[in-house]
């Protein structure tokens, strides 16, 4: 573990800049002990794939923060996987956020993903800043950089953040995070490779070489993914809808088509030079493993 104020080994970020693509997995904090047991079985299933890193999100509005931290710490202590600790500014004072960073550091977690997070009232609710807190993710990046000992990642939005004035402004915000110390970005879910590459082009046009890792979520449950896409500002493209809507009541068919579409999206992203793939697992391993094994059989990862 890096000592307080030191810079951790750079192999993680170097992997994102290497020719061979990385792959990583994202999980969410379960609401109860039964859900946590499912998560640990999923982690055990995916550990043999040797991901570059794994991450555990906060719940909506910053919920389940304590469980997120404890799971991330346990991954660091008890598995061979490299954890990235999520961190948001929602409903927390600056002092409370500093405490979380120190908890991560004490557990040997040297990577954090710095996010503003959704408002406590829901993704479309008005933002309310904690009286002693922060408003923007860039402030969180600056805080982690000031404390030292962390590599910091941020989120990115291929179709623009819902609150962004324009796609160009959204790219400027992402570059500002990089200038503040962020070393990589992971995108929200999206469905068209062209949206991802357009974001990369906008960021490169601003002079930034920030690695941007695409976030992948296969459509296994049409209604669930459609809601998540809407909340994150992603559009469900017509070419996807026309394949999924006619079969949306057939769960088996939706799952098969969703995996097919996600696998092709991964192929397109890797062919276009994406530095890796970040799979949003929804705490289940089977679909992620199926996509992974197909890509590995094709020597793509």
User: What's residue 3's pLDDT?
Assistant: 36
Contacts of 194 (CB under 8 A, 6+ apart): none
- What span, in angstroms and rounded, lies between the C-alpha atoms of 10 and 18? 12
In a domain, 117, yes or no: yes
User: What's residue 1's pLDDT?
Assistant: 36
pLDDT mean across residues, the chain: 86
Count Cα neighbours of 163 within 13 Å in the Cβ-side half-sphere. 12
With CA atoms as reference, report the closest residue to 8 among 112, 213, 149, 122. 149
In a domain, 210, yes or no: yes
Which range scores top for mean pLDDT: 16-30, 77-91, 115-129, 168-182? 168-182
- In which band, very low, low, confident or very high, does the pLDDT at 4 lie, cut at 50, 70 and 90? very low
pLDDT, mean of residues 185-200: 95
- What span, in angstroms and rounded, lies between the C-alpha atoms of 162 and 12? 30
User: What's residue 169's pLDDT?
Assistant: 94
pLDDT per residue over 234-293, tens digit each?
Answer: 778 888 888 988 998 999 999 999 999 999 999 999 999 999 999 999 888 899 999 999
- Three-state SS for the chain is CCCCCCCCCCHHHHHHHCCCCEEEEEECCCCCHHHHHHHHHHHHHHHHHCCCEEEECCCHHHCCHHHHHHHHHHHHHHCCCCEEEEEECCCCCHHHHHHHHHHHHHCCCCEEEEECCCCCCCCCCCCCCCCCCCCCHHHHHHHHHHHCCCEEEEEECCCCCCCCCCHHHHHHHHHHHHHHCCCEEEEEECCCHHHHHHHHHHHHHCCCCCCEEEEECCCCCHHHHHHHHHHHCCCCCHHHHHHHHHHCCCHHHHHHHHHHHHHHHHHHHHHCCCCEEEEECCCCCHHHHHHHHHHHHCCCC
What total number of domains does the chain contain?
1
User: What's residue 221's pLDDT?
Assistant: 85
pLDDT per residue over 275-284, tens digit each?
Answer: 999 999 988 8
Length of the chain: 301
- In which band, very low, low, confident or very high, does the pLDDT at 227 lie, cut at 50, 70 and 90? confident
The verdict on whether 26 is a catalytic residue reads: yes
In a domain, 260, yes or no: yes
User: What's residue 2's pLDDT?
Assistant: 39
The percent of residues above 90 in pLDDT, for the chain, comes to 49
Which residue shows structure tokens 């299933």? 45
In a domain, 279, yes or no: yes
In a domain, 139, yes or no: yes
- What span, in angstroms and rounded, lies between the C-alpha atoms of 71 and 83? 9
In a domain, 276, yes or no: yes
With CA atoms as reference, report the closest residue to 116 among 54, 164, 169, 66. 164
**CATH code, domain carrying 167:** 3.20.20.220
User: What's residue 207's pLDDT?
Assistant: 97
pLDDT, mean of residues 151-162: 91
pLDDT, mean of residues 73-88: 90
- In which band, very low, low, confident or very high, does the pLDDT at 106 lie, cut at 50, 70 and 90? confident
Higher pLDDT, 96 or 290: 290
Q: Which of 6, 26, 78, 290 is catalytic?
A: 26
In a domain, 4, yes or no: no
In a domain, 228, yes or no: yes
* Domain span holding position 88: 11-297
């Amino acid at each position: 573990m890096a000592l307080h104020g030191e810079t951790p080994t750079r192999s993680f970020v170097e992997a994102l800049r290497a020719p061979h693509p990385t792959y990583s997995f994202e999980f969410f904090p379960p609401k109860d002990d039964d859900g946590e047991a499912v998560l640990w079985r999923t982690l055990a299933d995916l550990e043999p794939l040797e991901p570059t890193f794994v991450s555990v999100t906060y719940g909506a509005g910053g919920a389940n923060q304590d469980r997120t931290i404890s799971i991330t710490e346990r991954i660091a202590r008890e598995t061979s996987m490299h954890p990235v600790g999520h961190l948001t500014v929602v409903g927390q004072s600056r002092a409370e956020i500093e405490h979380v960073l120190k908890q991560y550091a004490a557990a040997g977690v040297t990577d954090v993903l710095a996010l503003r997070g959704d408002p406590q009232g829901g993704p479309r609710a008005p933002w309310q800043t904690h009286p002693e807190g922060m408003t923007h993710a860039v402030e969180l990046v600056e805080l982690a950089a000031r404390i030292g000992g962390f590599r910091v990642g941020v989120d990115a939005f291929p179709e623009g953040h819902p609150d962004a004035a324009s796609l160009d402004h959204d790219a400027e915000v992402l570059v500002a995070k990089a200038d503040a110390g962020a070393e990589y970005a992971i995108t929200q879910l999206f469905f068209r490779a062209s949206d991802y590459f357009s974001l990369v082009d906008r960021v490169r046009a601003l002079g930034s070489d920030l690695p941007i890792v695409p976030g992948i979520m296969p459509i296994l449950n049409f209604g669930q993914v459609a809601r998540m896409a809407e909340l994150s500002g992603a559009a469900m493209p017509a070419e996807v809808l026309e394949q999924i809507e006619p079969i949306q009541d057939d769960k088996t068919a939706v799952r098969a088509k969703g995996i097919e579409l996600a696998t092709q999206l991964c192929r397109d992203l890797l062919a276009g030079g994406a530095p890796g793939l970040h799979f949003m697992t929804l705490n289940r391993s089977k679909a992620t493993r199926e996509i992974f094994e197909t890509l590995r059989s094709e020597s793509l990862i």
